Structure 1
Amino acid sequence: MNNAKSRTFKWIANVGMGIICFIALFPVLILLLSSFRPSSELMRSGISLTFDWSKLNIDNYLYIFTQADGYWQWYINSLIISVITIVLSLFFSSMVGYALAVYDFKGKNLFFGFVVFILMVPFEILMLPLFQMMITSGLVNTYAGVVLPMIVAPIAVFFFRQYALGLPLQLMDAARIDGSTEYGIFFKIMLPLMTPSLGAMAILQGLGSWNNFLWPLIVLRSNDMFTLPIGLATLLTPYGNNYDVLIAGSVMTVIPIIILFIFFQRYFVAGLTVGGVKG
């Protein structure tokens, strides 16, 4: 009887999750199908649920690969900014979070309080002083101007601290007895144990950086420095709408995120458990 109830519950759960997944993926499916529609039809009727299937073609993608030079520059800019942001954010945020978790020093709780406080402050409030800093530093319209404010994200510091609280501290004592330095303990022993948290945060930071629109819009000035979200937004103007590049280009922007998730997916769930190992 219990087995029958268990199978019924599992079946209902699977059906429910299938329906939720379909609802979530339905807009993506419509966007994908619309990317194969002729640009003239997109201009006339926009994205809709009803269209002539016989008119589907790959002309929009051919246009992107052969004529849309600006699109690929935006793509490269987004890739460079996202990769740099992920690498630097994981490096510095993990060090800060680790230090807040395993070391005792004067002002530790106060510092962590500032991290939590900044988490509660909307980014829109910080934009003006950050932009003034970029102007003073001469970093407007540069990759550094986009990346630097994001490399020590409060959410990442908080996340790594919570994960590091569950690390076995006995390993640190054993490494010190063997003569290892504090940097050696972190990079050779503790950081490998934090791999699940690094994988989870790489996905979250990569997704945030790839889709970031507001801050790059403020810092970047020239068309050849635009990221994908900004560049695609410029295709919609009062003087004309390039739906052929916009729709097909939007579909292709999903590819790096899918690759990133596939690469780190085995760490994602484990990383979100935060501190599964107790010393």
Structure 2
Amino acid sequence: MKTAKVVCVAGQKGGIAKTTTTGSLAFLASLSGYQTLAIDMDTQSDLSLLLTQVDDIDDEIQKGFFKGTVFDAMLEGRPERYINHVNENLDVLVANDDLANLPAYVYQEYDGHPSELLRVTIEPLLPAYDFIFIDTPPSLSEMMTNALGASDYVVIPFDGSRYNLNALRRLFKTVNKIQERVNPTLEIFGILPTLIDTSGAKGRNEYFGQPVRSDYKLVLNHLLSHPEYKDYMLKYIIPKRAATDRLSYAGFTSDNPELERACEPYLPLVEELIQRV
């Protein structure tokens, strides 16, 4: 019997490739033969659009293409009714603006802890999957805390910017609170440098094994010497690539001529996930 490992991709800052990372991990895990579920916990619906390649989630619900969303699953406690198939090994629970009603529901109507509803909802699904990957919004909210509350591990994208240092500090505080109050077994899988521009970089960085431009190196070296963050730094980077950026248009489909190049940077992360968890 399968017992899914649940991996959340989170960061309290926008534009750091959370959705691309979540989608790439889910797709590559499914491609390796693992039964995989992707869950969209962001009202922007970006993961839903990325994996299904539809234009509008609400339109597809009206047409009957989707039976409902992850919020419907949480309200009814019957997530299997709202699962949508992407490929042979990959399913998705989509999101739309209805998810914005989650805070009101968990504080006004739900009897349990406000950050445990997603965990309770997906528990019946765990035997059916090897991996469950959860995408999150770019700021602290009940959507994010529920994702963390349901997860075994959290992957933290870091775009190498000075502003992301503050976001990283705040996310570590959020993770600590979730560990204390809701999910004591939650672990930080690692900090993943993303959207790193390697153009003009010379030589291979000793730690990452890839070229890193000097301005990014300054911030990454700060993390590598930081007493709290250094032990969580993953040993590879996700470089900024046009092919990866265009995944939102071309999708994870066989007729995407750039698919291999777009996904290739994420292969080491998927391999490490499989080995470690």
The TM-score normalised by the length of structure 1 is: 0.23
Q: Which has the larger radius of gyration?
A: 1
Higher relative contact order (CA 8 A, sep 6+): 1
Higher strand proportion, which one?
2
Higher helix proportion, which one?
1
The TM-score normalised by the length of structure 2 is: 0.23
